[in-house]
Structure formats: structure tokens, C-alpha cells
Amino acid sequence: MREIQFREALREAMSEEMRRDERIFLMGEEVAEYNGAYKVSQGMLDEFGPQRVIDTPIAELGFAGIGVGAAMNGLRPIIEFMTFNFSLVAIDQIINGAAKIMSMSGGQYSAPVVFRGPTGNAGMLSSQHSQNFENWYANTAGLKVVVASNPYNAKGLLKSAIRDDDPVIFMESELMYGDKGEVPEEEYLIPIGKAEVVKQGTDVTLVSFGKMMKVALQAAAEAEKNGIAAEVIDLMSVRPIDYATVVNSVKKTNRLVIVEEAWPLAAISTEVTFHVQRHAFDYLDAPIHRVNSMDVPLPYAPTLIEAVLPNVKRTLQAIQAVTYK
């Protein structure tokens, strides 16, 4: 099977869907003439023209609102934020507009729009450009929230998001756009709301999503050297969450560690922890451990970034704490 970059997988997903359905268009800062801030949309202006690949001013509130209105009137927009940190400028359109229009109109309108772009730490970008908002948007009824972890999942999930009749928040990582992975040439879709067991194990369940899957898998490999067989689960979507896959895994391994880049308060890891203790309490042989970012704004200095973010060492310590090894 061929290997392509994460950015190429996203581009293929958008291009294939735009060829399939002329109602789909891409809008955002630098998506057209500049070929995308991270070259995700490279070549799309040449193929689809300026009516369907649209550069915008630096005005997230405005072009997010245009996207919601277009979706309500029969189009299927893909709205790119250069980073989800900038989506805060447009959050009213997303939460009070897109997420609620189906309910508030009694089903007369829907908003089939995808808001996509990078989330989380991307290196030395400091506090205002390094935040995770997956849990913020996942707390909003009416939205679906997807966080892809590799090129294969990115393509299949984005195609499903574009076809979905609900508004979807699709989150990526600037640090993963160059990652390569196997992606088939034939068409495929990955359903939103279904987690994947990416590694079988018997001693502890390790749950993560997005680029933190790299940390989880590296920690699982290191744990195996110490005789600990970790089962690793990629949530892929954090609204809806596939609780059943996690609970069934915990019933087998009797232990749970969750790795998430976001701050600990009201995080996705908090929600998963509650659900597992509610539905698998009698199966737990140790308290659930979470590995989140430290509860501070992300610093600029690389040494401090390393200290704040989840990493393999902290994850291994959590695994050892619940397995008593």
C-alpha cells in the first residue's frame, strides 16, 4: 500500500468529496492562493477554482458565519481555521449557530458544515497558540468532534465528516501534517463515534486520541519490555465517545490509564474516567490514572514545554502505578 503524508490524506479527502458533490466548498485564510498555511489545500484552487476554494480576510467570526448560513441554505462548507486557537473569535457562530439551528428551527434547518484545523501544541508558539479545545466543543450538544491520529484515519474520518448532516469539529495537529502512513487508493469511510483497538493487551487499558496516540503507543512498547501488555485504544472521536469499547477493554484488563493533551479539569479523560467507574467499577483492580498537560498556560521555552505536556515517561509511571510494577 502507498504511503502519503497526513496533509495529503486530508487533501485527498476534501478533493474526492468536492468532485463527488458540487455543493462542497473550502473557505479560510490562505487556503487558495497560498495553497494553505500548512499546504493541506495545495493545488485545490487550480482544480476547483475561486468559487469553491475561497481565501478570506483574517476574520474568523465573519467567514464562520458565512459557512453556517451557507450550510443552512443547502451547501456543505468546509471552514478551515489556521489554528483552533483562532476559532475562539468565531465560537458564537459555532456554538450558538451551527450547533443549535436544528433544534431551534424544529428540524426545518440543519448545518452540515465541517470546521477543521490544527489543535494543541505545535512547538514554541507559547500560550495563545498552543491550546486544546476538544473538550470545549465536545461539551456542546449538537456538535460532533473528531480528532484524527494518523493519515489513514484522517482521510476516512474527514470524508465521513463532510458527508455528515450535523456540524462537525475536525481537529488535526500541525506537528503531524508531515507524518506518513499507509492509505489505500480506493475509497473508504471511517464511521464517526467508533473507537479502534490499535493494540491488544491484557494488563492495562491505555486510551488516547490525536497526536497523543504517539505517546500512548511508545509507552505501551516500553511497558512491554517490563512484561506489561497494554491494550491501546484510539477514541478517534470525542463526541460521540465510544464508551462501550473502553468499558469492554477495562473489563478484560482491570486497569485504565488515559493520555490527553488538554488541561485536566473537565477534560475528555475526566468524562471517560467517570463513565468507566460508573459501568465497570467492580472490574477495576486499581484507581484510574490520567496523564494530562500540567494545569498552566503552555510556556515558550522548549524545556518547559517538555515538562508541561504528557510524555512517555509520565505515561509509563502511570502504567506502573496501576499495575504495581
Residues with a catalytic annotation lie at 60, 129
* Residue (of 63, 113, 55) closest to 89 by Cα position: 63
Q: Which residues pair with 257 in a beta bridge?
A: 206, 289
- Name which of 13, 290, 7 is nearest 168 in CA terms: 13
* Strand segments (E) across the chain: 3-5, 24-28, 53-55, 76-80, 114-118, 144-147, 168-172, 180-182, 196-199, 204-208, 230-234, 237-239, 256-259, 289-291
Q: φ and ψ at 209, to 5 degrees?
A: -165, 165
C-alpha to C-alpha distance for 26 and 30, rounded to whole angstroms: 11
Collapsing DSSP states into helix, strand and coil, what is residue 305? helix
Place of cell 478517534: 236
Q: What is the DSSP letter of 9?
A: H
User: Cα separation of 281 and 287, whole Å?
Assistant: 10
Distance CA 232, CA 235 (A): 10
Query: For residue 93, what are the contacts with CB-CB under 8 A and spacing of at least 6?
Result: 61, 64, 65, 67, 68
C-alpha separations of 158 from 116, 153, 210, 254, 273 in Å: 9, 8, 14, 33, 27
Question: Cβ distance 65 to 98 under 8 Å?
Answer: no
Q: At 130, is the secondary structure helix, strand, or coil?
A: coil
